[in-house]
Structure 1
Amino acid sequence: MNNIDRTDALDMVRESISQVVPDADVAALGPDEAFRDVLEMDSLDFLSFVEVLSERSGVRIDDEDTPRLTTLSGSADFLVARAR
């Protein structure tokens, strides 16, 4: 498993959001904003985001991990920690 640095992790999170919500302005998202609320993602969008993020990062994401994936910052921290 590759180490993922925080910059790469943030990029992966933004790219994954963009893939699921193509018209999302991910550049405008603050690191601690709850992007699911800001972008009005429904639960299906969020599940798709989790799947895409898992594929991109190679990190397994379980159901109990999803509460940590509510902000850019939290999602990036999760990937960095899990990829070690």
Structure 2
Amino acid sequence: MTKDQCKQVVVDIITDIAPDEDLSNLKSDVRLRDQLQLDSMDFLDIVMELRKRHGIEVPEADYIQLASLDSCAEYLTPKFTAAGK
């Protein structure tokens, strides 16, 4: 999976858990919580959906790695590759 595909996976999850958010101007290098009205429960939903949909485990200590779309791609791309996705 490419980094762009990985970013799209995260955007798709956000679309599902926060359908009222406008993601059309989402900047990949800015923290998601600075751009969107995501609370800690929404963030946990993202982590849970990564596990449920893709089998990707994100330990709590690594949550900071999911701050922006760019950091999500950096962190998750090797995990998707290791999972054979």
Q: Where on the TM-score scale, by shorter chain, does this alignment land: which range?
A: 0.7 to 0.9
TM-score where L is the length of structure 1: 0.84
RMSD: 1.4
Contact 1:32 1:71 in 2 (8 A): yes
Q: Please, which moves more after superposition, 50-59 or 4-13?
A: 50-59
Can you give the 5+ residue segments of structure 1 that lack an aligned partner in the other structure?
none
Aligned to 2:21: 24
TM-score where L is the length of structure 2: 0.83
Q: Please, which moves more after superposition, 20-29 or 8-17?
A: 20-29
Tell me: higher relative CO, structure 1 or 2? Use CA pairs within 8 A at least 6 residues apart: 1
Query: Which aligned segments of 4 or more residues in structure 1 are displaced greater than 6 angstroms?
Result: none
Can you give the 5+ residue segments of structure 2 that lack an aligned partner in the other structure?
none
Picking from 44, 48, 53, the partner of 1:47 is 44
